[in-house]
Amino acid sequence: MRISSRHLGAVLTTTALMFALGCSAEADSTGDTASGATGFPLTLRNCGQTVTVDAPPQRAVSLNQGSTEILLSLGLADRMVGTATWTDPIRPNLAEANAKVPRLADNKPSFEVVLDTEPDFVSASFGGTLGTGGVAERKQFEDLGVPTYLSPTDCDGKTTKSVNSDGARTEPLRIDSVYQEIRDLAAIFDVRERGEELVAELQQRFTAAAGSVRAAGVSLAFWFADTATPYMAGCCGSSGIITHSIGATNIFADTTDEWPQVNWESVLDRDPRALVLADLSRRKLAGDALDSKIAFLESNPVTQRLTAVRDKRYIVVNGADLNPSIRTIDGIEKVADAVQQWGWTS
């Protein structure tokens, strides 16, 4: 592993700065906000850890698509030296900016590959990427003087941190956690005004989509991947935000795991009125791609009997739309639009 002189000296530099300055701008709340900070060094609480950023990052690496799309939406492509771990094509409005940032890996890069970019900040959406079993533990970066940030959507109300947020939640995810992540990152990069503008835009879209329909009595199932034992959304992740926003119900709302693996007989027993299908660009599991999902549904003897399959009531979303991120708003818009087109409004 090559560690640059920049990293070798960073720990001593950070310690010296803390002693010399004696204090820093601080912020804290239940959502670990940095919104009250006014200068640097900036200290904030993030997912139970204290993070100190000496100056706005100039060489950031984002390790998940959700985090990447927030940074790009904040106009920070020129301060990014790498991205990784993608499930879908970039959001179209961010394609030009994204093309300027090196992609280190489609999936998880090695710790060495990330260090070779000489990052001064690392962000991620999931503890399974920035944590045990991922690219590296947060402490490994921080011991080298590289501050890290983990999305609060993978911490708020969760009992575990796992790959793609599969752990159980003690309370439902709220869209406010996404807004919190935007505000924290905007503070870290000293672009707070851009952060507030982005939050305001998302809030307006959320209100418009949620107010367009009231789908009381409409039952949905959210299928992410895997044909054998499918990953279906439980109660309390992004799917919960989507269903609650339009007044619909999730057939697995009694399951606190974010993405439990179920059997098709249990789906048939609950018989959703429509299926929300994730069209994933990755090809890791059977049923990642939309066409393979539909082919399976319409040929399997159990799934053929589903009302949603007989009526071909499919709502297509990107995989990223079902992860906690700015794409959750996209998911609300797509589901609300389908429900409205079918006339399922009360």
The whole-number average pLDDT for the span 213-242 is 94
Least confident of 32-36, 125-129, 148-152, 275-279: 32-36
Beta-ladder partners of 82: 61
Residues 50-89: tens digit of each pLDDT: 999 999 999 999 999 999 999 999 999 999 999 999 989 9
pLDDT tier, 8 (very low <50, low <70, confident <90, very high otherwise): very low
Which tokens is 5 given?
């002189």
Least confident of 25-29, 123-127, 245-249, 338-342: 25-29
Residue 261 β-bridge partners:
231
Residues 263-297 as b or e (16 or more Cβ within 10 Å = b): ebeebbebebbbbbbbbbeeeebebbbbebbbebb
Please report the domains of the chain, with CATH numbers, ordered by start residue: 5-205 (3.40.50.1980), 213-341 (3.40.50.1980)
Beta bridge partners of 314: 275
Looking up tokens 């009125």 gives 273
- Whole-angstrom distance, CA of residue 232 vs CA of residue 342: 23
| Amino acid residing at 28 | D
Q: If DSSP codes are grouped into helix, strand and coil, which group holds residue 71?
A: helix
Q: Is a pLDDT exceeding 80 seen at residue 154?
A: yes
Q: Does residue 286 carry a pLDDT above 80?
A: no
Instruction: Band the pLDDT of 166: cuts 50, 70, 90.
Output: low
Cis omega before residue 41 (within 30°)? yes
pLDDT at 25 over 80: no
